[in-house]
């Protein structure tokens, strides 16, 4: 449906308070899921990020890339194993993780942002020892638990007017490379930067009271309410670690955390620049 000029003007006027509110503030976007594998959606998301950057929001993009890592391992004839939902990462797999995340995906996103008129710089957790980690569990091999985050490289890029694109790879002082969960990395980075908000793009519409009823979306949750829903089993399974990351981000200093459906076109803009919003917002 084509908008009239008057309708376009109304949309811009309604967005003005949000543009003012977020101007010069840091927003961390955790990017993954179907929004990352669908090429049309990927272009749409990058366009939205460039728009946010152009209106004065300091956007930091943190990404994973599980499906593409699996695809590359399959091409190399290497079987993928999971323990408790986490990829078992031996030395060879860690090299593949670094190659896919910090190379193919990271530079592809930078190129896409630049093609949409933005100014981006790709970095990974090993650059400037940005994400330091230790082994999480011997059974998992080189899957890392974050021990320290140095946000100086990100701050430097923001100061120079770039959109930092961060791949979730970590390292230790012995030169080992670790596969880092992107949700955890984004939450920690957002907390250390004192971000205004963290937007977590997922394949679901947000937190539901009833997982089988899309209309049961909970638009707003406090960290206490989220903990209660986990105790009651309403938040369960694969959503638990995601919600824990949201709660941790708030506790680490992020003002608001949004869980949104990244498969909906312009979901970032709807959540950030409109009255209605689209997903679930976590607050202190």
Indicate which residue of 30, 42, 47, 256 is catalytic: 30
Q: Do 106 and 99 contact (CB within 8 A), yes or no?
A: no
The answer for residues whose C-beta is within 8 angstroms of residue 233's C-beta and 6 or more apart is none
Spatial distance between the Cα atoms of 136 and 241, rounded to a whole number of angstroms = 15
Gap between the Cα atoms of 48 and 31, Å rounded: 12
| Helix, strand or coil, per DSSP, at residue 198 | strand
Q: How far apart are CA 176 and CA 186, in angstroms?
A: 21
Name beta bridge partners: 276. Answer: none
- Is 279 catalytic? The answer is no
User: Quick one: residue 174, left, alpha or beta (phi over 0 = left, psi -120 to 50 = alpha)?
Assistant: alpha
SS3 content of the chain, % helix, strand, coil (to 5): 45, 25, 30
Question: Of 32, 64, 65, 66, which is the active-site residue?
Answer: 66
- Range list of H helices, 39-149: 39-54, 66-75, 91-98, 106-115
Active site residue 284: no
Residue 144 is a catalytic residue: no
* CA-based torsion, 21, 159, 55, 263: positive or negative: negative
Catalytic site includes residue 122: no
Q: Which of 58, 188, 242, 256 is catalytic?
A: 242
- Has 33 been annotated as catalytic? yes
Round to whole Å and give the CA distance between 273 and 21: 10
Residues 235/243, Cβ–Cβ less than 8 Å? yes
Catalytic residue among 141, 183, 191, 206: 183
Would you name the residues annotated as active-site residues? 30, 33, 66, 183, 242
């Amino acid at each position: 449906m084509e908008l009239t000029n008057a309708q376009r003007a109304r949309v811009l006027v309604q967005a003005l308070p949000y543009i003012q509110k977020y101007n010069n503030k840091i927003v961390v976007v955790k990017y993954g899921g179907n929004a990352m594998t669908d090429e049309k959606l990927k272009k749409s998301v990058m366009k939205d990020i460039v728009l946010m950057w152009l209106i004065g929001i300091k956007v930091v993009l943190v990404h994973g890339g599980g499906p593409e890592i699996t695809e590359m391992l399959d091409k190399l004839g290497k079987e993928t194993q999971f323990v408790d939902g986490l990829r078992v990462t031996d030395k060879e797999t860690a090299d593949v993780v670094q190659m896919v995340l910090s190379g193919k995906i990271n530079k592809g996103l930078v190129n896409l942002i630049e093609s949409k008129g933005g100014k981006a710089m790709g970095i990974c957790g090993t650059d400037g020892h940005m994400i330091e980690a230790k082994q999480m569990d011997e059974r998992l091999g080189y899957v890392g638990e974050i021990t320290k985050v140095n946000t100086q490289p990100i701050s430097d890029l923001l100061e120079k007017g770039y959109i930092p694109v961060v791949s979730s790879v970590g390292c230790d002082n012995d030169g080992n490379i670790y596969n880092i969960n992107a949700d955890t990395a984004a939450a920690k980075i957002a907390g250390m930067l004192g971000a205004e908000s963290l937007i977590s793009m997922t394949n679901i519409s947000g937190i539901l009271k009833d997982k089988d009823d899309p209309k049961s979306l909970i638009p707003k949750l406090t960290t206490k309410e989220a903990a209660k829903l986990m105790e009651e089993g309403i938040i369960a399974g694969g959503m638990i670690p995601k919600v824990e990351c949201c709660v941790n981000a708030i506790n680490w200093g992020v003002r608001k955390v949004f869980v949104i459906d990244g498969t909906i076109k312009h979901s970032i803009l709807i959540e950030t620049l409109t009255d209605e919003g689209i997903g679930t917002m976590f607050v202190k």
